[in-house]
Amino acid sequence: MRKVETKSRSAKRIRHGRRRKRWLYWALQLVGLCYLLFFPLRAVVEVANRTGVGYVVSYLTIVSATTAYLYWSDKRRAQRDEWRIPEAHLHLMDLVGGWPAAYLAQRVFRHKIAKREFQFTFWLIVIVHQYVAVDFMQAWKWTHYVHGALEQFRSS
């Protein structure tokens, strides 16, 4: 009697399709991260030229590694039904410069992606970083404009 391989062929096709989709998913995620890093990296290079590359690289390495570790640890604790890391701590690490590591960690560990409130705060932090980077490269032009408008509003 001959063995029927229809299941295995279709399973191979499904697995191949998943691999292709997984590759496409990661390619799009990395392109998205590169796009999001364009202005912040330019600002970081400018800061590094002023203060020294070693300080900036050390700071970003420590913050990124700590952020990724906290996301990994929180995911592991969630799986074990243990005490969790407060979301405010994760967001604090995002805010101090760990948002690129958080972006990747959320996807690698499949953690906090579906939680809307968390994602709203995360993306707000990313937008703040974009704003600060662009404004810094323009010698704080927007900040001076807003400050002047607020001063004018207060005096009237």
The predicted structure's pLDDT at residue 85 = 96
Residue 139 zone, left/alpha/beta (φ > 0; ψ -120 to 50; rest): left
Tokens of 132: 């600060």
DSSP per-residue codes, 22-64: HHHHHHHHHHHHHHHHHHHHHHHHHHHHHH-HHHHHHHHHHHH
List the chain domain ranges: 38-155
Q: How confident is the model at residue 7 (pLDDT cuts 50, 70, 90)?
A: low
Helices (H), the chain: 6-51, 53-79, 87-93, 99-108, 116-137, 141-155
Average pLDDT along the chain = 89
Q: How confident is the model over 63-68, as a mean pLDDT?
A: 98
pLDDT tens digits for range 82-140: 999 999 999 999 999 999 999 999 999 999 999 999 999 999 999 999 999 999 999 99
H or E element: which one contains 1?
Answer: none
Residue 24: burial class (beta carbons within 10 Å; 0-12, 13-18, 19+) = exposed
Position 51 scores a pLDDT of 93
Look up the pTM and report it: 0.79
Choice among 21-25, 41-45, 103-107 with the minimum mean pLDDT: 21-25
- Structure-block tokens of residue 91: 């967001």
* Percent of the chain scoring above 90 in pLDDT: 76
For residue 6, give Cα distances in angstroms to 2, 3, 19: 12, 9, 20
How far apart CA 31 and CA 124 sit, in angstroms, is: 20
| 14, pLDDT greater than 80 | no
Tokens of 136: 């810094």
